[in-house]
Structure 1
Amino acid sequence: MDFILQRWNTRGLILKTTILNKEQGNRKIYDYAVLKRLLSFAKPYKGKFFLLIFLTLMVSILGPIRPAIIGWTIDNPVAEGNYELLVQMILILLGLLIFQFIAQYFHTYLSGWLGQHVIRDIRIQLYRHLLKLKLKFFDRTPIGRLVTRNVSDIETLADVFSQGFAAIISDLLQIIIILAIMFWTDWRLTLVTLSTFPLLIIATYVFKEKVKSSFNAVRNAVSNLNSFVQEHITGMNIVQIFSAEKKEFGKFNDINNEHLQANLRSVLYYSVYFPVAEFIQATGIALIIWYGGRGVIFEQFQPGVLISFILYVGMFFRPVRLIADRFNTLQMGVVSTERIMKLLDNNDFITDEGDHVPEKIDGNVEFKNVWFAYNEGEDVLKDINFKVAHGESCALVGATGAGKSSIINLLNRFYDINEGEILVDGTSVKDYDLASLRENIGVVMQDVFLFSGSIRENIRLGNTDITDKQIEDAAKLVGADKFIEKLPGGFDYDVMERGATLSVGQRQLISFVRVMVYNPKIIVLDEATSSVDTETEELIQSAIEKMMKGRTSIVIAHRLSTIKHADKIIVLDKGEIKEVGNHDELLSKDGFYTQLHKMQYKEVV
């Protein structure tokens, strides 16, 4: 059959529909494989899973017994006037109800318990998986989509256990047991009961397909809403700077309306289906009353049999009505599972197969014939060769897009090179244990990210080995202690999300402290002073000088004044090294560096 996947683009304005032609059998097999993979997450709880199956059987059996007992009670103790037997049957019915109540309670609780524990495990596995993926993956994937996978899609899986899998088994078993009892009691009344059943099957099938389509549209709309809202809240300052509030609100309104329409379609299908199903059930009861009542009048049936069949009609049609909704829940679980498993199957990791964990790193860095491209065929670094010895300071300069930040990313193995070799103390970075390598390379980015929480928590980042004294000593070293002590609570001051309550310079100084508590042997500064005022720059520059003392340092800077004292300056242009030397040497060459110097200072050399 044609399986339709509907996807909105990131802005939510264009509905893209891709039709994938698949045979019905293949689709069912694929769904089964996905469902089987989902159920595999229940293996750690197989004892409770089998208990849930047992309780499902009990609930399915206990319900259909009641109408048979009620019918027999009417035709025997009531018809014969046997009060003692009537009381006994009432007590039996009461006992069955209590037993069914207990079984139903544990069935409902256990299915919910199992679902919540499974989604907890999946969410942990998914988040752990995301932590291992290359930065390239996050460069290309909207954050809102990942949030949807981690929250909404995983939450849907809980319904597979609480309202889908176990409930479908219970409903199917109940239908089979009811049919068996009805045929055993009287096949003629059973056939009359089933005369309206084909109509219900047709209505249920149409409802199932329509709701499945609308649910897919709802899930896609939710994903697009998450992506749009996350993106625009993060970039709210840009929206307001360019007075684009009305325009962006219009885009949001379009996406929100699509979400509304998708939900309204599902509401429409429910509002049509259940009255139709109720009408079909009522018609079945009317036929039973007509045919069964006629049989009772002409003494073909006993009254108790007629009453039990009337009860069975309601009991039989109820799971049939619900089973369509159960299958849609299961189908949505399958769709969510496909999305989650697709993410889990993405093994685009930075390989961590190295086992080199030196007792001490001196900090000698060497790039040998390094080629690198973010996208195949679009090299951003071309045959890069340079060395930075222990204790040396090396500055990278060049126009935007020259490849400066790419060098930093490769040294830390945020990305892997295409050709060549990067060495630290003569050993390839690929041979290092990744955690050991990164612990010895302290990176301060241009755009400092602080998490909501205290300054202390942002410095420690969950590493309990870092003591309060180390944090305070590092803060004094870089000069951050002065402004931290003035904040309410000092190191316990809540910086809010992204450090919104601090200035750019204060956030930068905290990032210096965060690096220095690890006492790295290599310091990397990516335009650390490009977004601050002159006064703050002087403070940060003083902190940088303290950080660089006795360490290998690689500095990216647009302001040439900040790196004129560097031991070595590497000039990059379009991914290639054009010049290497110190400040005075490069100026004397009257080349690329001289041109950069002239443009920045507007002077004639």
Structure 2
Amino acid sequence: MNKPVINKDLKWALSYLKPYILPLSGIFIITFAQNYIFTLLPKVGTNFLFELLSPEKIQLLIKYLVLVLVIILAKSFLSFFRGYSVKVVINTVMKKIRDRIFFHLLTLDLDFFTENKTGDIIALTVNDVTRVKTGFYLGVIRFLSQIMMVIIIVVKLFLLNWRLTLISFGATPFIIWIIRVIGNKMRVVSRKVRKNVAELSTNLHETVTGIEVVKAYAQEEYELDNFKKNTKKFKRNNLKLALLGHFFSPLNEVIIYFFAMAIVALGSYFIIKGSLKPKQLIEFMILMGIMSGPLMKIPSFITRFKVVTASIERILNFLETKPKIQEIENPFEKVLEGKIEFKNVWFSYNPSQTVLKDVSYVAERGEVVALVGPSGAGKTTIANLIPRFYEYEKGEILIDDTIIKNYGLKSLRSQIGIVSQNVILFNTSIIENIRYSMRDATEEEIISVTKKAYAYDFIMQFPGQFHTEVGEKGAKLSGGQKQRIAIARTFLMNPQILILDEATSSLDSESEYYIRLAIEELMKGRTSIIIAHRLSTISHANKILVLNEGQIIDIGTHDELIKRCEMYNKIYKLQYFR
């Protein structure tokens, strides 16, 4: 079965050019005019040369010089106008593609981000997109421009001498065969280079984000060796790609120059026979010289297309990745009251390991429900299922007696506040980080929530106060300061349900004291799900769920569980009587 000339990857890339057919048509008309004007130079030049051989016609010198100047100026003007128009169209197309990729990235589930390396995602959204711009879109327009130049020159060559023209294209089949062989090899190597770029990005990202651990364990040499191994592979595959590319261009030149010499010999023969004039041969050779440029560029464009299709393929595969969590048609959009119910819920991150097994519990509106148990018991998973970060497999989860799958994702998540140990702040000002949960919040509202979160005083001590830049991931703030800004952000969104995941662990006593006060204020009137290893933070809970290996083994208050639950009692003794 024959492969289609244009596969689905190229169809996808070309589809972004459809809305710009009219400006692109204008660009190609300008390109044709520019190329045609340029191909007038050989005829003008040869006429000028042969006219000047007669001394009595020396007065034509000024006429020809003016004509040449007009041709050059016209070509230059058209070249400028065409070049700028191309950039306008291509940059508009690339904006749409980047926006489409980023929008799709935001729709994907957490599963996608845990299963794919950060370096792979960055390589796709930055490197592959750039290659599509330079290697495909700009390449296609340049390729068609060169093809247009070749067609114009071929027509002129046929008009000069069709026999000589046919002979001059004898090398074409051989060049096409070389393009096919080398182009396919370049595509394979290009995929390896993409993989190397992703590995380097991941390596660099992990080292930079984990630099404190690297230095704490004095592992700079190990990380350097790791990076050198990746750069060595990247260098090796890049050199393979360069070898194939640079091998082809000189070979192409040798073939073209060989045939140029043959044309001179044949042209001389036709002159002797009287079927060609010397002036026509010179014009023919100048046109062939002009055409040699496009002929040498066209194969390199084709081999680059082979390379860039690997990037297009990756982007398209990414865009075809469907989020597992889907909204129903006409989902519910309503204010939550806060009742949460799990009914025989089962969940697993992969088929070989079940994380939650037949989990059932009810958190009434305004109740504080705590989750305790050893690491890996399923506490965080239960919390992550409430805002539908993951999809449960069996059973049902209800909020206000409505299955959570019937709620709109935005409506649901905008009413669930999450405060965790790993606070994420963006590299912008304090006020913008707090305002992230409610974009139209006033400055008065922001001041109010920072006071509730016990953050106002330390914010006002900064020279920039609320407009102080927090640095990447809040690097300019202490752990306690970041936590209180996160709590202020949650206050601002005014959620009906609150999830506290290890919110007070790993903090100094003073920070923990203020954060406890802020959290107590935050929990008032809200259904709160608390995850903590330290029982001192959850002794006030209305219900405590004790989990082990994905199952709830007991439910009760602190006093009830101390008396009857062996695992809870064990955790209590380990924390208080060590």
Q: Same fold (TM over 0.5)?
A: yes
The 3-state SS of whatever aligns with 2:7 is helix
Structure-2 change in CA distance of 1:587 and 1:210 (3 Å):
closer
Structure-2 change in CA distance of 1:60 and 1:223 (3 Å):
farther
The 3-state SS of whatever aligns with 2:17 is helix
| Counterpart code for 1:547 | L
Q: Provide the residue aligned with 2:399 in structure 1.
A: 424
The 3-state SS of whatever aligns with 1:554 is strand
Structure-2 change in CA distance of 1:101 and 1:78 (3 Å):
farther
Contact 2:157 2:165 in 1 (8 A): yes
Structure-2 change in CA distance of 1:320 and 1:496 (3 Å):
same
* Alignment partner of 1:482 is 2:457: yes
* Alignment partner of 1:65 is 2:55: no
Taking structure 1 as the reference length, the TM-score comes to 0.89
What is the rounded CA distance, in whole Å, between the counterparts of 2:50 and 2:187 in structure 1?
A: 46
Contact 1:363 1:390 in 2 (8 A): yes
Q: CA deviation at 1:443?
A: 0.6
Match of 1:586 among 522, 545, 561: 561
| Counterpart code for 1:385 | S
What is the rounded CA distance, in whole Å, between the counterparts of 2:523 and 2:152 in structure 1?
A: 79
Structure-2 change in CA distance of 1:534 and 1:38 (3 Å):
same
Q: CA deviation at 1:120?
A: 1.1
* Alignment partner of 1:531 is 2:506: yes
What is the rounded CA distance, in whole Å, between the counterparts of 1:560 and 1:38 in structure 2?
A: 57
| Counterpart code for 1:428 | I
The 3-state SS of whatever aligns with 2:76 is helix
| Counterpart code for 1:495 | V
Contact 2:183 2:306 in 1 (8 A): no
What is the rounded CA distance, in whole Å, between the counterparts of 2:47 and 2:181 in structure 1?
A: 38
Q: Provide the residue aligned with 1:516 in structure 2.
A: 491
Structure-2 change in CA distance of 1:68 and 1:217 (3 Å):
farther
Structure-2 change in CA distance of 1:355 and 1:165 (3 Å):
same
Q: Provide the residue aligned with 1:413 in structure 2.
A: 388
Match of 1:139 among 106, 109, 114: 114
What is the rounded CA distance, in whole Å, between the counterparts of 1:114 and 1:430 in structure 2?
A: 42
Q: Provide the residue aligned with 2:546 in structure 1.
A: 571
The 3-state SS of whatever aligns with 1:371 is strand
* Alignment partner of 1:155 is 2:130: yes
1:194-238: per-residue Cα shift (whole Å, max 9, x none)? 456566556555554454444443333222211221122122222
Contact 1:403 1:572 in 2 (8 A): yes
* Alignment partner of 1:376 is 2:351: yes
The 3-state SS of whatever aligns with 2:130 is helix
Q: Which deviates more, 188-197 or 532-541?
A: 188-197
RMSD: 2.5
| Counterpart code for 1:356 | F
The 3-state SS of whatever aligns with 1:447 is coil
Match of 1:355 among 316, 331, 335: 331
Q: Which deviates more, 212-221 or 429-438?
A: 212-221
What is the rounded CA distance, in whole Å, between the counterparts of 2:40 and 2:186 in structure 1?
A: 33
Structure-2 change in CA distance of 1:345 and 1:298 (3 Å):
closer
Contact 2:186 2:306 in 1 (8 A): no
Structure-2 change in CA distance of 1:345 and 1:210 (3 Å):
closer
Q: Which deviates more, 286-295 or 492-501?
A: 286-295
Contact 2:184 2:306 in 1 (8 A): no
What is the rounded CA distance, in whole Å, between the counterparts of 2:317 and 2:127 in structure 1?
A: 16
What is the rounded CA distance, in whole Å, between the counterparts of 2:418 and 2:273 in structure 1?
A: 94
What is the rounded CA distance, in whole Å, between the counterparts of 1:304 and 1:477 in structure 2?
A: 91
| Counterpart code for 1:355 | P
Match of 2:341 among 347, 366, 377: 366
1:50-100: per-residue Cα shift (whole Å, max 9, x none)? 222323333443333332343345456756954566654554443333332
* Aligned positions of 1:191-590 closer than 5 A: 191=166, 193-194=168-169, 207-293=182-268, 296=271, 301-353=276-328, 355-358=331-334, 360-461=335-436, 463-590=438-565
Structure-2 change in CA distance of 1:103 and 1:386 (3 Å):
same
Q: Provide the residue aligned with 1:102 in structure 2.
A: 77
Q: Unaligned 5+ residue runs, structure 2?
A: none
What is the rounded CA distance, in whole Å, between the counterparts of 1:365 and 1:32 in structure 2?
A: 49
1:508-544: per-residue Cα shift (whole Å, max 9, x none)? 1111001000111211100111211233222211111
| Counterpart code for 2:158 | F
Taking structure 2 as the reference length, the TM-score comes to 0.93
Q: Which deviates more, 313-322 or 104-113?
A: 104-113
Q: Unaligned 5+ residue runs, structure 1?
A: 1-22
1:430-465: per-residue Cα shift (whole Å, max 9, x none)? 222222211211110221111111111111127431
Q: Provide the residue aligned with 1:127 in structure 2.
A: 102
What is the rounded CA distance, in whole Å, between the counterparts of 2:420 and 2:33 in structure 1?
A: 62
What is the rounded CA distance, in whole Å, between the counterparts of 1:357 and 1:192 in structure 2?
A: 74
Contact 1:368 1:385 in 2 (8 A): yes
| Counterpart code for 2:573 | K
Contact 1:163 1:326 in 2 (8 A): no
The 3-state SS of whatever aligns with 1:450 is coil
1:119-140: per-residue Cα shift (whole Å, max 9, x none)? 1111101101110111011110
Q: Which deviates more, 75-84 or 300-309?
A: 75-84
Structure-2 change in CA distance of 1:601 and 1:122 (3 Å):
same
What is the rounded CA distance, in whole Å, between the counterparts of 1:201 and 1:141 in structure 2?
A: 39
Contact 1:75 1:303 in 2 (8 A): no
Contact 1:579 1:592 in 2 (8 A): no
* Alignment partner of 1:184 is 2:138: no
